[in-house]
Chains A and B, each alone.
Chain A
Amino acid sequence: MAAKLNSMWRTLKRIWQLWMFYAKLDLLLLISDVRLALIYFSSELLTSIGSVIGLLLLAQRFDGIGTWTLNHLYVLLGYSTLVLGILNTFFNYNLSLISRRIGRGQLDHVLVQPQPLWMIFITEGFAPLSGLMGLIPGILLFAWGLIGLGVSLDLGWWALLVLNLFASGTIMMSFNYIWGSLAFVAPRSSEEISSSASRLLDQLKVYPLDGLGGLLLGSLMTVAPVGLVAWYPVRALLGLNSSAWSIWITPLAALFMLGIALFCFLKGLGYYATTGSQRYSSLGHRS
Protein backbone atom coordinates (compact mmCIF):
# COMPACT_ATOMS: atom_id res chain seq x y z
CA MET A 1 0.00 0.00 0.00
CA ALA A 2 2.78 2.36 1.03
CA ALA A 3 4.69 1.49 -2.14
CA LYS A 4 1.60 2.21 -4.22
CA LEU A 5 1.07 5.56 -2.52
CA ASN A 6 4.70 6.40 -2.96
CA SER A 7 4.54 5.58 -6.68
CA MET A 8 1.39 7.70 -7.06
CA TRP A 9 3.07 10.58 -5.25
CA ARG A 10 6.09 10.36 -7.55
CA THR A 11 3.82 10.35 -10.62
CA LEU A 12 1.94 13.43 -9.44
CA LYS A 13 5.21 15.15 -8.63
CA ARG A 14 6.50 14.35 -12.11
CA ILE A 15 3.34 15.73 -13.73
CA TRP A 16 3.73 18.92 -11.71
CA GLN A 17 7.41 19.22 -12.71
CA LEU A 18 6.53 18.78 -16.37
CA TRP A 19 3.73 21.34 -16.17
CA MET A 20 6.15 23.84 -14.66
CA PHE A 21 8.69 23.04 -17.35
CA TYR A 22 6.20 23.58 -20.19
CA ALA A 23 4.86 26.72 -18.51
CA LYS A 24 8.41 28.07 -18.53
CA LEU A 25 8.78 27.19 -22.21
CA ASP A 26 5.51 28.98 -22.91
CA LEU A 27 6.78 32.05 -21.08
CA LEU A 28 10.08 31.98 -22.98
CA LEU A 29 8.25 31.70 -26.29
CA LEU A 30 6.13 34.74 -25.50
CA ILE A 31 8.88 36.99 -24.17
CA SER A 32 11.18 36.13 -27.07
CA ASP A 33 9.07 38.37 -29.32
CA VAL A 34 6.86 40.98 -27.68
CA ARG A 35 5.05 41.83 -30.92
CA LEU A 36 4.18 38.19 -31.47
CA ALA A 37 3.12 37.80 -27.86
CA LEU A 38 0.76 40.77 -28.16
CA ILE A 39 -0.68 39.37 -31.37
CA TYR A 40 -1.25 35.97 -29.72
CA PHE A 41 -2.85 37.53 -26.66
CA SER A 42 -5.16 39.77 -28.64
CA SER A 43 -6.05 37.01 -31.08
CA GLU A 44 -7.01 34.62 -28.26
CA LEU A 45 -9.10 37.34 -26.69
CA LEU A 46 -10.76 38.35 -29.97
CA THR A 47 -11.43 34.78 -31.03
CA SER A 48 -13.09 34.01 -27.72
CA ILE A 49 -15.22 37.13 -27.96
CA GLY A 50 -15.96 36.50 -31.63
CA SER A 51 -17.30 33.01 -30.94
CA VAL A 52 -19.99 34.28 -28.58
CA ILE A 53 -20.71 37.83 -29.66
CA GLY A 54 -23.31 36.95 -32.30
CA LEU A 55 -25.52 35.07 -29.89
CA LEU A 56 -24.88 37.68 -27.21
CA LEU A 57 -26.09 40.52 -29.43
CA LEU A 58 -29.10 38.48 -30.52
CA ALA A 59 -30.00 37.72 -26.91
CA GLN A 60 -29.55 41.39 -26.04
CA ARG A 61 -31.88 42.42 -28.84
CA PHE A 62 -34.63 39.95 -27.90
CA ASP A 63 -34.02 40.01 -24.16
CA GLY A 64 -33.09 36.32 -24.04
CA ILE A 65 -33.84 33.28 -26.16
CA GLY A 66 -36.97 31.33 -25.26
CA THR A 67 -36.75 30.22 -21.63
CA TRP A 68 -33.14 31.39 -21.42
CA THR A 69 -32.92 34.83 -19.89
CA LEU A 70 -29.96 37.07 -20.61
CA ASN A 71 -28.24 36.01 -17.40
CA HIS A 72 -28.76 32.33 -18.16
CA LEU A 73 -27.20 32.93 -21.57
CA TYR A 74 -24.22 34.75 -20.06
CA VAL A 75 -23.60 31.65 -17.95
CA LEU A 76 -24.01 29.36 -20.98
CA LEU A 77 -21.65 31.41 -23.14
CA GLY A 78 -19.19 31.82 -20.29
CA TYR A 79 -19.20 28.08 -19.62
CA SER A 80 -18.70 27.17 -23.29
CA THR A 81 -15.84 29.69 -23.59
CA LEU A 82 -14.28 28.31 -20.42
CA VAL A 83 -14.37 24.73 -21.72
CA LEU A 84 -12.48 25.71 -24.86
CA GLY A 85 -10.15 27.97 -22.88
CA ILE A 86 -9.26 25.11 -20.54
CA LEU A 87 -8.57 22.79 -23.47
CA ASN A 88 -6.39 25.44 -25.12
CA THR A 89 -4.50 25.91 -21.86
CA PHE A 90 -3.85 22.24 -21.12
CA PHE A 91 -3.80 20.65 -24.58
CA ASN A 92 -2.21 23.24 -26.82
CA TYR A 93 0.27 22.54 -29.62
CA ASN A 94 -2.07 20.15 -31.42
CA LEU A 95 -2.48 17.85 -28.43
CA SER A 96 -6.23 18.28 -28.70
CA LEU A 97 -6.10 17.95 -32.49
CA ILE A 98 -4.31 14.63 -32.35
CA SER A 99 -4.86 13.66 -36.00
CA ARG A 100 -2.37 16.37 -36.97
CA ARG A 101 0.35 14.81 -34.85
CA ILE A 102 -0.42 11.31 -36.06
CA GLY A 103 -0.82 12.30 -39.71
CA ARG A 104 2.39 14.29 -39.72
CA GLY A 105 4.40 11.51 -38.14
CA GLN A 106 4.97 13.58 -35.01
CA LEU A 107 3.72 10.83 -32.74
CA ASP A 108 7.09 9.17 -33.18
CA HIS A 109 8.69 12.21 -31.53
CA VAL A 110 6.59 11.41 -28.47
CA LEU A 111 7.06 7.65 -28.55
CA VAL A 112 10.84 7.93 -28.29
CA GLN A 113 10.67 10.04 -25.11
CA PRO A 114 11.41 8.38 -21.74
CA GLN A 115 7.89 9.08 -20.43
CA PRO A 116 4.64 7.16 -20.59
CA LEU A 117 2.49 8.31 -23.51
CA TRP A 118 -0.42 9.36 -21.29
CA MET A 119 1.85 11.56 -19.19
CA ILE A 120 3.19 13.32 -22.26
CA PHE A 121 -0.33 13.88 -23.52
CA ILE A 122 -1.49 15.55 -20.33
CA THR A 123 1.61 17.70 -19.89
CA GLU A 124 3.21 18.58 -23.22
CA GLY A 125 0.41 20.89 -24.36
CA PHE A 126 0.37 22.95 -21.15
CA ALA A 127 0.48 26.61 -22.19
CA PRO A 128 -0.94 28.65 -19.31
CA LEU A 129 0.08 32.03 -20.68
CA SER A 130 -0.91 31.45 -24.30
CA GLY A 131 -4.27 30.11 -23.18
CA LEU A 132 -4.94 32.77 -20.56
CA MET A 133 -6.73 35.21 -22.86
CA GLY A 134 -9.13 32.48 -23.90
CA LEU A 135 -10.10 31.92 -20.28
CA ILE A 136 -10.66 35.52 -19.18
CA PRO A 137 -13.77 36.30 -21.29
CA GLY A 138 -15.25 32.99 -20.18
CA ILE A 139 -14.67 33.71 -16.50
CA LEU A 140 -16.08 37.23 -16.83
CA LEU A 141 -19.21 36.15 -18.71
CA PHE A 142 -19.82 33.27 -16.32
CA ALA A 143 -19.39 35.46 -13.25
CA TRP A 144 -21.56 38.22 -14.74
CA GLY A 145 -24.37 35.77 -15.40
CA LEU A 146 -24.18 34.21 -11.95
CA ILE A 147 -24.22 37.60 -10.23
CA GLY A 148 -27.20 38.62 -12.36
CA LEU A 149 -29.10 35.47 -11.46
CA GLY A 150 -28.46 36.16 -7.78
CA VAL A 151 -28.43 32.49 -6.79
CA SER A 152 -26.74 31.39 -3.59
CA LEU A 153 -24.06 28.84 -4.33
CA ASP A 154 -22.47 26.48 -1.85
CA LEU A 155 -19.20 24.59 -1.98
CA GLY A 156 -20.96 21.51 -3.39
CA TRP A 157 -22.19 23.52 -6.37
CA TRP A 158 -18.68 24.74 -7.14
CA ALA A 159 -17.39 21.18 -6.92
CA LEU A 160 -20.08 20.08 -9.37
CA LEU A 161 -19.15 22.97 -11.65
CA VAL A 162 -15.51 21.87 -11.71
CA LEU A 163 -16.60 18.26 -12.31
CA ASN A 164 -18.87 19.26 -15.20
CA LEU A 165 -16.26 21.56 -16.76
CA PHE A 166 -13.78 18.70 -16.59
CA ALA A 167 -16.39 16.35 -18.09
CA SER A 168 -17.26 18.73 -20.93
CA GLY A 169 -13.58 19.12 -21.79
CA THR A 170 -13.16 15.34 -21.69
CA ILE A 171 -16.09 14.94 -24.08
CA MET A 172 -14.58 17.40 -26.56
CA MET A 173 -11.16 15.76 -26.32
CA SER A 174 -12.61 12.25 -26.61
CA PHE A 175 -14.61 13.23 -29.68
CA ASN A 176 -11.44 14.64 -31.28
CA TYR A 177 -9.45 11.51 -30.38
CA ILE A 178 -12.13 9.10 -31.62
CA TRP A 179 -12.08 10.75 -35.04
CA GLY A 180 -8.38 11.52 -34.86
CA SER A 181 -7.56 7.81 -34.49
CA LEU A 182 -8.51 7.44 -38.15
CA ALA A 183 -5.23 9.18 -38.94
CA PHE A 184 -3.40 6.01 -37.88
CA VAL A 185 -4.99 4.26 -40.85
CA ALA A 186 -5.17 7.15 -43.33
CA PRO A 187 -2.53 9.69 -42.25
CA ARG A 188 -2.70 11.96 -45.27
CA SER A 189 -6.43 12.24 -45.80
CA SER A 190 -7.31 12.26 -42.10
CA GLU A 191 -4.61 14.66 -40.96
CA GLU A 192 -7.18 17.39 -40.37
CA ILE A 193 -10.06 15.21 -39.16
CA SER A 194 -9.67 16.24 -35.52
CA SER A 195 -9.93 19.91 -36.49
CA SER A 196 -13.12 19.21 -38.44
CA ALA A 197 -14.53 17.29 -35.45
CA SER A 198 -13.47 20.04 -33.10
CA ARG A 199 -15.00 22.72 -35.32
CA LEU A 200 -18.30 20.87 -35.32
CA LEU A 201 -18.54 20.97 -31.52
CA ASP A 202 -16.94 24.38 -31.20
CA GLN A 203 -19.29 26.21 -33.56
CA LEU A 204 -22.49 24.71 -32.21
CA LYS A 205 -21.68 24.55 -28.52
CA VAL A 206 -22.86 28.10 -27.78
CA TYR A 207 -26.48 27.59 -28.82
CA PRO A 208 -29.34 26.73 -26.49
CA LEU A 209 -30.81 23.57 -28.03
CA ASP A 210 -34.21 23.62 -26.32
CA GLY A 211 -36.40 24.00 -29.39
CA LEU A 212 -34.93 21.13 -31.39
CA GLY A 213 -36.93 18.03 -32.29
CA GLY A 214 -36.32 14.71 -30.52
CA LEU A 215 -34.24 13.05 -33.23
CA LEU A 216 -31.99 16.04 -33.82
CA LEU A 217 -31.58 16.72 -30.13
CA GLY A 218 -30.81 13.05 -29.54
CA SER A 219 -28.12 13.16 -32.21
CA LEU A 220 -26.62 16.30 -30.72
CA MET A 221 -26.42 14.60 -27.34
CA THR A 222 -24.87 11.36 -28.56
CA VAL A 223 -23.40 11.03 -32.06
CA ALA A 224 -22.18 14.62 -32.21
CA PRO A 225 -22.31 15.50 -28.50
CA VAL A 226 -22.65 19.26 -28.93
CA GLY A 227 -25.28 19.48 -26.20
CA LEU A 228 -22.96 17.95 -23.61
CA VAL A 229 -20.24 20.55 -24.15
CA ALA A 230 -22.22 23.40 -22.61
CA TRP A 231 -25.99 23.41 -23.03
CA TYR A 232 -26.91 20.35 -20.94
CA PRO A 233 -24.42 20.81 -18.06
CA VAL A 234 -25.38 24.48 -17.74
CA ARG A 235 -29.07 23.58 -17.65
CA ALA A 236 -28.28 21.08 -14.90
CA LEU A 237 -26.08 23.48 -12.95
CA LEU A 238 -28.66 26.26 -13.09
CA GLY A 239 -31.45 23.93 -12.04
CA LEU A 240 -33.34 24.26 -15.34
CA ASN A 241 -33.70 20.48 -15.57
CA SER A 242 -36.42 18.87 -13.49
CA SER A 243 -34.34 15.86 -12.44
CA ALA A 244 -31.68 16.23 -9.76
CA TRP A 245 -29.75 13.40 -11.45
CA SER A 246 -29.18 15.49 -14.57
CA ILE A 247 -26.07 17.00 -12.99
CA TRP A 248 -24.36 13.59 -13.30
CA ILE A 249 -25.27 12.97 -16.94
CA THR A 250 -22.35 14.92 -18.43
CA PRO A 251 -19.70 13.31 -16.18
CA LEU A 252 -21.11 9.84 -16.93
CA ALA A 253 -21.19 10.58 -20.65
CA ALA A 254 -17.59 11.81 -20.38
CA LEU A 255 -16.51 8.50 -18.84
CA PHE A 256 -18.29 6.59 -21.59
CA MET A 257 -16.75 8.70 -24.35
CA LEU A 258 -13.32 8.49 -22.77
CA GLY A 259 -13.65 4.70 -22.87
CA ILE A 260 -14.52 4.76 -26.58
CA ALA A 261 -11.70 7.20 -27.29
CA LEU A 262 -9.17 5.02 -25.46
CA PHE A 263 -10.36 1.95 -27.33
CA CYS A 264 -10.11 3.68 -30.75
CA PHE A 265 -6.75 5.27 -29.98
CA LEU A 266 -5.15 2.07 -28.65
CA LYS A 267 -6.54 0.09 -31.56
CA GLY A 268 -5.06 2.66 -33.95
CA LEU A 269 -1.78 2.70 -32.06
CA GLY A 270 -1.59 -1.09 -32.37
CA TYR A 271 -2.02 -0.77 -36.12
CA TYR A 272 0.53 2.04 -36.22
CA ALA A 273 3.06 -0.21 -34.50
CA THR A 274 2.93 -2.50 -37.54
CA THR A 275 3.09 0.23 -40.21
CA GLY A 276 4.89 3.27 -38.75
CA SER A 277 4.69 6.68 -40.32
CA GLN A 278 4.81 7.15 -44.07
CA ARG A 279 6.70 10.31 -43.38
CA TYR A 280 9.85 8.41 -42.60
CA SER A 281 9.71 6.02 -45.52
CA SER A 282 11.62 6.79 -48.70
CA LEU A 283 8.32 7.30 -50.55
CA GLY A 284 6.60 9.11 -47.69
CA HIS A 285 4.19 11.91 -48.43
CA ARG A 286 6.38 14.37 -46.60
CA SER A 287 9.74 12.76 -47.21
Chain B
Amino acid sequence: MVENGLGQRANIRRDTWTRRLAKYAKTASMAASGYIGDSPLFMFDYLMRVLRVLVLLSIWRIVLSEEGASGLSLQAVLTYTLISEVFFSQLNPRTSMEDAFWQGTIAGRMAQPLGLFEQFTSETVGRWFFEWCCFSIPLVLISPLLGVNVLPASLGAGLLFIVSLLLAVSVGLALEYIFCALLVIWQLPLWVMLQIRSAFITLLSGAMLPLAFLPDLIGEIFSWLPFASMASAPLQIYVGAGNTLLLVLLQVFWSVLLWPLAHWLWFKGREGMISYGG
Protein backbone atom coordinates (compact mmCIF):
# COMPACT_ATOMS: atom_id res chain seq x y z
CA MET B 1 0.00 0.00 0.00
CA VAL B 2 2.78 2.33 1.03
CA GLU B 3 4.83 1.35 -2.03
CA ASN B 4 1.80 2.01 -4.18
CA GLY B 5 1.38 5.45 -2.68
CA LEU B 6 5.03 6.28 -3.22
CA GLY B 7 4.90 4.97 -6.77
CA GLN B 8 1.83 7.07 -7.49
CA ARG B 9 3.49 10.14 -6.03
CA ALA B 10 6.58 9.50 -8.15
CA ASN B 11 4.37 9.14 -11.22
CA ILE B 12 2.59 12.39 -10.42
CA ARG B 13 5.93 14.10 -9.92
CA ARG B 14 7.21 12.68 -13.22
CA ASP B 15 4.01 13.77 -14.89
CA THR B 16 4.31 17.26 -13.44
CA TRP B 17 7.89 17.52 -14.70
CA THR B 18 7.08 16.27 -18.19
CA ARG B 19 4.08 18.60 -18.33
CA ARG B 20 6.23 21.48 -17.18
CA LEU B 21 8.93 20.73 -19.72
CA ALA B 22 6.27 20.49 -22.42
CA LYS B 23 4.97 23.92 -21.38
CA TYR B 24 8.48 25.38 -21.50
CA ALA B 25 9.06 23.81 -24.93
CA LYS B 26 5.72 25.15 -26.22
CA THR B 27 6.51 28.64 -24.95
CA ALA B 28 9.93 28.43 -26.60
CA SER B 29 8.52 27.28 -29.94
CA MET B 30 5.87 30.04 -29.89
CA ALA B 31 8.60 32.60 -29.31
CA ALA B 32 10.74 31.14 -32.10
CA SER B 33 7.93 31.13 -34.68
CA GLY B 34 6.65 34.53 -33.52
CA TYR B 35 9.89 36.05 -34.80
CA ILE B 36 8.71 35.96 -38.39
CA GLY B 37 5.25 37.31 -37.70
CA ASP B 38 6.02 39.89 -35.05
CA SER B 39 9.57 41.00 -35.74
CA PRO B 40 10.32 40.88 -39.46
CA LEU B 41 13.12 43.34 -38.82
CA PHE B 42 15.37 40.70 -37.35
CA MET B 43 17.26 40.55 -40.68
CA PHE B 44 18.21 44.20 -40.23
CA ASP B 45 19.83 43.44 -36.91
CA TYR B 46 21.56 40.38 -38.34
CA LEU B 47 22.93 42.50 -41.17
CA MET B 48 24.25 44.98 -38.63
CA ARG B 49 25.92 42.19 -36.70
CA VAL B 50 27.59 40.77 -39.82
CA LEU B 51 28.89 44.22 -40.69
CA ARG B 52 30.07 44.75 -37.12
CA VAL B 53 32.00 41.49 -37.06
CA LEU B 54 33.59 42.28 -40.45
CA VAL B 55 34.67 45.70 -39.23
CA LEU B 56 36.04 44.29 -35.98
CA LEU B 57 37.96 41.54 -37.78
CA SER B 58 39.52 44.12 -40.04
CA ILE B 59 40.47 46.30 -37.07
CA TRP B 60 42.18 43.37 -35.34
CA ARG B 61 44.14 42.66 -38.51
CA ILE B 62 45.31 46.27 -38.58
CA VAL B 63 46.12 46.52 -34.89
CA LEU B 64 47.75 43.14 -34.20
CA SER B 65 50.70 41.36 -35.73
CA GLU B 66 50.54 37.54 -36.18
CA GLU B 67 51.98 37.07 -32.67
CA GLY B 68 49.16 39.13 -31.22
CA ALA B 69 49.36 40.73 -27.77
CA SER B 70 48.75 39.98 -24.10
CA GLY B 71 49.14 36.24 -24.69
CA LEU B 72 46.52 36.13 -27.45
CA SER B 73 47.63 35.46 -31.03
CA LEU B 74 45.95 37.25 -33.92
CA GLN B 75 44.17 34.03 -34.94
CA ALA B 76 42.91 33.52 -31.37
CA VAL B 77 41.55 37.07 -31.28
CA LEU B 78 39.80 36.60 -34.63
CA THR B 79 38.25 33.36 -33.34
CA TYR B 80 37.28 35.13 -30.09
CA THR B 81 35.55 37.91 -32.05
CA LEU B 82 33.67 35.59 -34.38
CA ILE B 83 32.54 33.16 -31.66
CA SER B 84 31.44 36.14 -29.58
CA GLU B 85 29.13 37.16 -32.43
CA VAL B 86 27.96 33.58 -33.08
CA PHE B 87 26.86 33.24 -29.43
CA PHE B 88 26.03 36.91 -28.97
CA SER B 89 22.56 36.31 -27.52
CA GLN B 90 23.75 33.63 -25.13
CA LEU B 91 26.66 35.76 -23.94
CA ASN B 92 24.32 38.69 -23.31
CA PRO B 93 20.95 37.04 -22.64
CA ARG B 94 18.01 39.41 -22.81
CA THR B 95 14.43 38.45 -22.10
CA SER B 96 11.36 40.37 -23.20
CA MET B 97 10.50 41.24 -19.60
CA GLU B 98 11.33 44.95 -19.99
CA ASP B 99 9.07 45.03 -23.02
CA ALA B 100 6.30 43.42 -20.99
CA PHE B 101 6.68 46.22 -18.41
CA TRP B 102 6.46 48.78 -21.17
CA GLN B 103 3.52 47.22 -23.00
CA GLY B 104 1.70 46.57 -19.75
CA THR B 105 1.41 42.87 -20.55
CA ILE B 106 3.32 41.90 -17.42
CA ALA B 107 0.05 41.77 -15.46
CA GLY B 108 -1.30 39.09 -17.80
CA ARG B 109 1.98 37.19 -17.55
CA MET B 110 1.60 36.94 -13.79
CA ALA B 111 -1.75 35.22 -14.22
CA GLN B 112 -0.31 32.52 -16.49
CA PRO B 113 0.26 29.00 -15.10
CA LEU B 114 4.05 29.29 -15.29
CA GLY B 115 6.48 31.20 -13.13
CA LEU B 116 7.65 34.55 -14.52
CA PHE B 117 11.29 33.52 -14.77
CA GLU B 118 10.32 30.26 -16.50
CA GLN B 119 8.07 32.01 -19.04
CA PHE B 120 10.58 34.62 -20.03
CA THR B 121 13.52 32.21 -20.03
CA SER B 122 11.64 29.74 -22.25
CA GLU B 123 10.76 32.49 -24.71
CA THR B 124 14.35 33.68 -24.78
CA VAL B 125 15.65 30.18 -25.47
CA GLY B 126 13.02 29.76 -28.20
CA ARG B 127 14.26 32.87 -29.97
CA TRP B 128 17.80 31.53 -29.78
CA PHE B 129 16.85 28.51 -31.90
CA PHE B 130 15.62 30.81 -34.61
CA GLU B 131 18.73 32.94 -34.39
CA TRP B 132 21.04 29.95 -34.55
CA CYS B 133 19.38 28.82 -37.78
CA CYS B 134 19.23 32.24 -39.43
CA PHE B 135 22.42 33.83 -38.20
CA SER B 136 24.85 31.83 -36.06
CA ILE B 137 25.17 28.69 -38.18
CA PRO B 138 25.48 30.65 -41.47
CA LEU B 139 28.14 32.84 -39.84
CA VAL B 140 30.12 29.77 -38.78
CA LEU B 141 29.77 28.35 -42.29
CA ILE B 142 31.17 31.47 -43.98
CA SER B 143 33.99 31.83 -41.44
CA PRO B 144 36.62 30.29 -43.78
CA LEU B 145 35.79 33.05 -46.27
CA LEU B 146 36.55 35.56 -43.55
CA GLY B 147 39.88 33.86 -42.82
CA VAL B 148 38.86 32.82 -39.34
CA ASN B 149 39.35 29.40 -37.79
CA VAL B 150 36.26 28.75 -35.68
CA LEU B 151 37.51 25.54 -34.07
CA PRO B 152 38.25 25.64 -30.33
CA ALA B 153 41.83 25.52 -29.09
CA SER B 154 41.42 21.79 -28.30
CA LEU B 155 38.72 19.17 -27.83
CA GLY B 156 38.88 19.72 -24.07
CA ALA B 157 38.51 23.46 -24.56
CA GLY B 158 35.47 22.84 -26.75
CA LEU B 159 33.81 20.62 -24.14
CA LEU B 160 34.59 23.00 -21.30
CA PHE B 161 33.26 25.86 -23.42
CA ILE B 162 29.84 24.18 -23.42
CA VAL B 163 29.87 24.00 -19.62
CA SER B 164 31.12 27.56 -19.37
CA LEU B 165 28.53 28.79 -21.89
CA LEU B 166 25.72 27.27 -19.81
CA LEU B 167 27.11 28.98 -16.72
CA ALA B 168 27.43 32.23 -18.68
CA VAL B 169 23.75 32.00 -19.64
CA SER B 170 22.89 31.33 -16.01
CA VAL B 171 24.82 34.40 -14.79
CA GLY B 172 23.44 36.53 -17.63
CA LEU B 173 19.83 35.59 -16.96
CA ALA B 174 20.25 36.16 -13.23
CA LEU B 175 21.63 39.63 -13.96
CA GLU B 176 18.74 40.28 -16.36
CA TYR B 177 16.15 39.45 -13.69
CA ILE B 178 18.04 41.47 -11.08
CA PHE B 179 18.08 44.42 -13.49
CA CYS B 180 14.32 44.07 -14.07
CA ALA B 181 13.65 43.76 -10.35
CA LEU B 182 15.66 46.92 -9.68
CA LEU B 183 13.68 48.76 -12.35
CA VAL B 184 10.55 47.83 -10.41
CA ILE B 185 11.89 48.53 -6.93
CA TRP B 186 13.48 51.88 -7.73
CA GLN B 187 10.89 52.77 -10.39
CA LEU B 188 13.53 53.80 -12.87
CA PRO B 189 12.73 55.02 -16.39
CA LEU B 190 12.92 51.88 -18.48
CA TRP B 191 14.41 53.01 -21.78
CA VAL B 192 16.96 55.24 -20.14
CA MET B 193 18.27 52.38 -18.03
CA LEU B 194 18.25 50.02 -21.00
CA GLN B 195 20.32 52.51 -22.97
CA ILE B 196 22.93 52.75 -20.23
CA ARG B 197 23.00 49.01 -19.80
CA SER B 198 23.44 48.35 -23.52
CA ALA B 199 26.18 50.94 -23.76
CA PHE B 200 28.32 49.32 -21.10
CA ILE B 201 27.51 45.62 -20.99
CA THR B 202 29.50 44.64 -24.10
CA LEU B 203 32.55 46.42 -22.73
CA LEU B 204 32.27 45.07 -19.18
CA SER B 205 31.57 41.52 -20.33
CA GLY B 206 34.53 41.38 -22.71
CA ALA B 207 32.24 40.39 -25.59
CA MET B 208 33.63 43.04 -27.92
CA LEU B 209 37.20 43.47 -26.66
CA PRO B 210 39.11 40.76 -24.82
CA LEU B 211 39.58 42.12 -21.30
CA ALA B 212 43.31 41.38 -21.61
CA PHE B 213 43.50 44.21 -24.16
CA LEU B 214 42.15 46.82 -21.78
CA PRO B 215 44.60 48.99 -19.82
CA ASP B 216 46.10 46.83 -17.04
CA LEU B 217 44.18 47.75 -13.90
CA ILE B 218 40.86 48.22 -15.70
CA GLY B 219 41.06 44.81 -17.37
CA GLU B 220 42.00 43.17 -14.07
CA ILE B 221 39.08 44.75 -12.20
CA PHE B 222 36.59 43.94 -14.97
CA SER B 223 37.66 40.29 -15.05
CA TRP B 224 36.44 39.76 -11.47
CA LEU B 225 33.01 41.30 -12.04
CA PRO B 226 29.99 39.09 -12.80
CA PHE B 227 29.74 40.60 -16.29
CA ALA B 228 33.04 38.92 -17.22
CA SER B 229 31.46 35.56 -16.39
CA MET B 230 28.86 36.26 -19.08
CA ALA B 231 31.21 36.46 -22.06
CA SER B 232 34.89 36.79 -21.32
CA ALA B 233 35.12 33.48 -19.41
CA PRO B 234 33.63 31.13 -22.06
CA LEU B 235 35.40 32.95 -24.89
CA GLN B 236 38.76 32.72 -23.16
CA ILE B 237 38.20 29.01 -22.57
CA TYR B 238 37.29 28.53 -26.24
CA VAL B 239 40.51 30.06 -27.51
CA GLY B 240 42.60 28.38 -24.82
CA ALA B 241 43.55 31.49 -22.87
CA GLY B 242 43.33 32.17 -19.17
CA ASN B 243 43.08 29.88 -16.14
CA THR B 244 40.17 27.58 -17.05
CA LEU B 245 39.49 26.29 -13.54
CA LEU B 246 39.46 29.77 -12.05
CA LEU B 247 37.18 31.07 -14.80
CA VAL B 248 34.64 28.27 -14.32
CA LEU B 249 34.76 28.53 -10.52
CA LEU B 250 34.14 32.26 -10.75
CA GLN B 251 31.15 31.61 -12.99
CA VAL B 252 29.77 29.07 -10.50
CA PHE B 253 30.32 31.55 -7.68
CA TRP B 254 28.42 34.34 -9.44
CA SER B 255 25.66 31.99 -10.52
CA VAL B 256 25.17 30.68 -6.98
CA LEU B 257 25.21 34.21 -5.57
CA LEU B 258 23.05 35.98 -8.14
CA TRP B 259 20.09 33.61 -8.55
CA PRO B 260 18.98 33.74 -4.90
CA LEU B 261 19.47 37.49 -5.08
CA ALA B 262 17.25 37.69 -8.17
CA HIS B 263 14.52 35.64 -6.48
CA TRP B 264 14.75 37.71 -3.30
CA LEU B 265 14.57 41.01 -5.17
CA TRP B 266 11.51 39.85 -7.10
CA PHE B 267 9.89 38.66 -3.90
CA LYS B 268 10.53 42.08 -2.32
CA GLY B 269 9.64 44.14 -5.37
CA ARG B 270 6.65 42.51 -7.04
CA GLU B 271 4.06 44.15 -4.80
CA GLY B 272 5.28 47.57 -5.89
CA MET B 273 5.28 46.78 -9.59
CA ILE B 274 3.63 49.32 -11.85
CA SER B 275 3.59 48.61 -15.56
CA TYR B 276 4.14 51.55 -17.85
CA GLY B 277 1.05 51.32 -19.98
CA GLY B 278 -0.22 49.73 -23.16
Contacts and interface: CB of A to CB of B under 8 A. Distances in A.
Interface in B188-241: 188-189, 192-193, 195-196, 198-200, 202-203, 208-209, 213-215, 218
Interface in A128-165: none
A280 B174 CA distance: 41
A204 interface: yes
B192 A220 contact: no
Contacts of A199: 45, 48
A16 B193 CA distance: 33
Interface stretch (A209-217, A241-249, A255-263, A267-275): A209-217
Contacts of A47: 195-196, 199
B209 A200 contact: no
A192 interface: yes
B214 to A, nearest CB: 5
A216 B61 contact: no
B155 interface: no
B127 to A, nearest CB: 16
Contact of B51 (A36, A189, A192, A204): A204
Interface stretch (B3-11, B52-60, B83-91, B131-139): B52-60
A93 interface: no
A22 interface: no
A50 interface: yes
Interface residues on A, range: 35 or more
A65 B62 contact: yes
A190 B215 CA distance: 42
A46 B213 contact: no
Contacts of B55: 204, 207, 209, 212
Interface string A39-60: 1100100110111011001101
B41 A46 contact: no
Report which residue of B47, B62, B214 has the largest number of chain A beta carbons within 10 angstroms of its beta carbon: B62
A226 interface: yes
A50 B45 contact: no
B63 A58 contact: yes
6 contacts: A50-B196, A192-B41, A204-B52, A209-B55, A216-B54, A224-B47
Interface of A: 36, 39-40, 43, 46-47, 49-51, 53-54, 57-58, 60-62, 65-66, 189-190, 192-193, 196-197, 199-200, 203-204, 207-212, 216, 220, 224, 226
Which 8 interchain pairs have the tightest Cβ spacing? A50-B199, A66-B62, A196-B44, A211-B58, A43-B192, A200-B48, A211-B62, A47-B199
Given A50-B198, A60-B215, A196-B45, 10 more contacts: A43-B195, A47-B195, A49-B199, A50-B203, A58-B213, A61-B215, A190-B41, A196-B48, A203-B48, A204-B52
